[in-house]
Structure 1
């Protein structure tokens, strides 16, 4: 299958459930309070046991569906419903009914597989027998001693696939982020798309160019006297269902960065994982990690705040895009060459939805292609 033959719809697809989504930063989940968060359409009550283990229960009591997240945690790792006082353990089984002595054996609420990894709490909302922690996307730069950085969460008022589209095609930087990381070479340079059964990679190199303001500052943080041209790279790694880690950086032009020697440059990873909330909202967890000047908290804070400002520009555009989609229900998306990576992401998500036997939020509609999208190479064509 060529990328240009893929299809998409203005009414965006729903989300697969058999996959790991981030529910929260690890520091958001404690043994003292209950976090309420909706992931992939499922309201969750999230907390930690006294020994630090994360728990994710459906946020609805078995009795009258009162939100458990408004209840309280008991000293024995149980959660108590705020309405009639029913208590549930971390497996979701009712352990106490104040109004009667005999417990109904059916008194349970769903408990979901949950894992601490890479500074995040991950949850699996589909078939629990398929919840293999080894399939959590690789984000090792988040807690590797050779990297440092920080990030935030964006509550994005749009379908999560619009964020995936945004991150798989970075040519928008030329227009949306012209004062920081954008430059003409983004849309002028060639790129390569590869894919496997659960991943897509887009690789772009821009050689012998001027460094945009963001990267020039970072080069001078490491090399104070730097002047001249750079080689710039963007290597976008998507992993099913919704994690995108972007290997980015610049190095002094002609010093071997395209061949693997990045010693004369600065390298960062933009770590992104997007968890759908509902069809028109999502939680966008991100961090910028770097492997230079690890001891500088000033640089960490400056990078976090700088990237936060850049992503604020994306957030405004994504909201405007979602509003336009809602106001024009009969319009179709159109494909350009630059959409090849995002088109493959959509195809992997479509396959996952089909495998789960679930329909999409709208019937597939025609996809008009403008220009010839480059064919992706890899497994599953």
Structure 2
């Protein structure tokens, strides 16, 4: 169901301060905390003494202290001390590979020895003065693949987001889907149309006219395990569309990190990175609020969709040409899941191979 030997966003760096933070990632209950020198650590959220959640404890001098009886844990999952008790012989709990990078805390829920920080996706916009970023977080009760489907087929914007980014031209212009290795790209380019309300606001934010025709683009890129980056924007018509010079357009990257919690719940980290008027904090706030409202509409739809699917597990769903991005993304996931299962079997103790 989930890829384990890969990186997921567990939280933002700002969420992890003095107190431990408990999160469930791909079915694994994990506690994250800052040890010595502000280094991030992650271990099983399970005290080996009485099974209490360590996330209800606190951090003292770099050690994670259980809030039940004061058992002290190390970053490697080994017990260190406990008031009035000998605990050095306690069996260790599991520790996880964890990295702080690009303003997020990334966790590898699979084998620590297989983790490779070089596989964390690079975010060009992070800490770059040419870009501005604003984002947020939603907890959603749905299968993570439903969110991937949603983001890889933006046709739904016409209906779910009719008052902000939706418009009939999205329905009228077919999308193109390409698969290159593990990368799935679905793109749609619309020409000589009027901008919807959200993009009118963005045009004004870049001191551009919002009442003349524009060319609009949507380029959705899925990379496993469940990350979707979407290049979106509009340019005054006749200036090259996606390739227009900066003075004629507003363009952004919609950032979507989807972290499975369980088979039917996700941690959804969303945001928008823009490369126009980056110093305008009020514009960043307006865009963030606009995105929050848009994704709130997705949340309701996805949770009720999940409820229907659970109630009717045997019903076959239609697959149309607009579903190509989601279908191909699921094929990539299925292939990688099978490869991970095969590798685990090959490494299992007693396997003759």
1:159 aligns with 2:143: yes
The yes-or-no answer on 1:64 pairing with 2:19 is no
State the alpha-carbon separation in 1 of the partners of residues 182 and 244 from structure 2.
Answer: 25
- Which residue number corresponds to residue 345 of structure 2? none
**Cα drift, residue 260 of structure 1:** 5.4
Cα distance between partner residues in 2 of 1:86 and 1:176: 50
Structure number with greater CO (CA < 8 Å, separation at least 6) is: 1
Which of these residues, 273, 283, 306, is aligned with residue 299 of structure 1? 283
Asked if the contact 1:139–1:245 (Cα under 8 Å) also holds between the matched residues in 2, the reply is no
Distance 2:69 2:309 in 1: 43
Choose which of 198, 220, 223 in structure 2 pairs with 1:239. Answer: 223
What is the CA-CA distance between 1:157 and the residue it aligns to? 1.0
* TM alignment of 1:136-151, pairs within 5 A: 136-151=120-135
Is 1:329 aligned to 2:316, yes or no? Answer: no
* Residue in structure 2 matched with residue 176 of structure 1 by the alignment: 160
User: Would the alpha carbon gap of residues 139 and 332 (structure 1) be closer, same or farther in structure 2, given more than 3 Å must change?
Assistant: farther
Runs of 4+ in 1 over 4 A off after TM superposition: none
Among 71, 94, 107, which residue is 1:86 paired with? Answer: 71
- Displacement of 1:174 in angstroms is 0.4
Encode CA deviations 1:39-84: one digit per residue, 9 max, x unaligned: 1111111111231211111101123321111122121x11122333
Whole-angstrom distance in 1 between the partners of 2:143 and 2:269: 15
Alignment partner of 1:335: what SS? Answer: coil
| CA contact 2:79–2:87 (8 Å) conserved in 1 | no
Query: Is the 8 Å Cα contact of residues 35 and 59 (structure 2) preserved in structure 1?
Result: no
RMSD: 1.6
Deviation at 1:144, TM superposition (A): 2.3
How far apart, in 1, do the equivalents of 2:187 and 2:29 lie? 37
* 1:223 aligned onto 2:210: no
Equivalents in 2 of 1:225, 1:70: separation in Å?
53
Name the structure 2 match of 1:376.
none
Gapped runs of 5+ residues in structure 2? 343-353
Map of 1:21 onto structure 2: 8
Cα deviation code 1:341-365 (max 9, x no counterpart): 111111111112212218xxxxxxx
Q: CA deviation at 1:263?
A: 3.5
Counterparts of 1:68-217 in structure 2 under 5 Å? Answer: 68-75=54-61, 77-101=62-86, 103-104=88-89, 107-217=91-201
Name the SS of the counterpart of 1:73 in structure 2: strand
Question: Do 1:88 and 1:108's aligned partners in 2 also have CA atoms closer than 8 Å?
Answer: no
Q: Which runs of 5+ in 1 are unaligned?
A: 1-13, 359-381
SS of structure 2 residue aligned to 1:357: helix
Separation of aligned partners in 1, 2:65 and 2:43: 12
Q: Deviations over 1:11-42 (max 9, x none)?
A: xxx21111110000100112x20111111111
Query: Aligned pairs, how many?
Result: 342
Q: 1:39 aligns with which of 25, 29, 35?
A: 25
Provide TM-score, normalisation by structure 2.
0.93
* Distance in 2 separating the partners of 1:59 and 1:248: 39
* 1:50 matched residue in structure 2: 36
Q: Which has the higher helix share?
A: 2
Deviation at 1:269, TM superposition (A): 1.0
Q: What is the Cα deviation at residue 262 of structure 1?
A: 4.6
SS of the equivalent of 2:216 reads strand
CA deviation after TM superposition for structure 1 residue 138, in Å: 2.8
